[in-house]
Amino acid sequence: MTPTQKDLSDRIIKFWADHETGPSYRELALLTGTAVSNIYRMVERLAERGVLHVDKGMWRGIYPIDEWRKKNEPKRTYRDEYERKLLVENQRMREALKEIRDIADVSEGTELYVMIAEKGLGD
Q: In the predicted model, is pLDDT for residue 72 greater than 60?
A: yes
> pTM surpassing 0.85?
no
Q: In which band, very low, low, confident or very high, does the pLDDT at 41 lie, cut at 50, 70 and 90? A: very high
Neighbouring-strand partners of residue 54: 62
Q: In the predicted model, is pLDDT for residue 20 greater than 80?
A: yes
Q: In the predicted model, is pLDDT for residue 110 greater than 70?
A: no
Q: In the predicted model, is pLDDT for residue 111 greater than 70?
A: no
Query: Are residues 5 and 46 in contact, defined by beta-carbon separation less than 8 angstroms?
Result: yes
Query: Are residues 46 and 9 in contact, defined by beta-carbon separation less than 8 angstroms?
Result: yes
Per-residue pLDDT at 19 = 92
List, for residues 47-71, the tens digit of each pLDDT value. Answer: 999 999 998 888 888 999 988 888 8
3-state secondary structure of 104: helix
**Percentage above 70 pLDDT, the chain:** 81
